Amino acid sequence: MIYSAIYTQKSLFTLDEFQTQWADYLGEYLLKDKYVIKQMLNHFRDNPEIGVYYPTSFWMMPNWVNHWLKNKPPAQKMAKEWEIELTKEFIAYPVGGMFWDST
């Protein structure tokens, strides 16, 4: 099954104009561009081990948004409890929490 996680959220840390541009960017590369969506669906089909697709970070995003920040300690605690080894200092994730997922 493939589904898309899309939501609206207003950040208290960014300007409205920036948020509009960011939302437009995510909408374009997650929902509107039929060629991108076709490539994504083919990629999921051809690579069943792939679980998440999300666009590259919006060009206006500062570098720090792609970092663990305060989420790293809780993630390390959960990984230890679940006996999962986190081998990377940096884990890329879908900034904005909008993505396609394959289960």
Residues 40 and 53: beta-carbon distance below 8 Å: yes
State the amino acid at position 19 in one-letter form: Q
Q: Give the containing element (helix H, strand E) for 100.
A: strand 99-102
Domain boundaries, the chain: 14-102
Structure tokens at 10: 């207003």
Question: pTM to 2 decimals?
Answer: 0.64
**pLDDT per position in the chain (103 positions), as tens?**
888 887 766 665 556 777 778 888 888 888 888 898 899 899 999 998 988 888 877 777 776 766 777 778 888 899 999 999 887 777 767 766 788 888 8
The whole-angstrom separation of Cα 76 and Cα 74 is: 5
Q: Is 13 helix (H, G, I), strand (E, B) or coil?
A: coil
Burial 49-69 (b: 16+ CB within 10 A, else e): eeeebbbebbeebeeeeebee
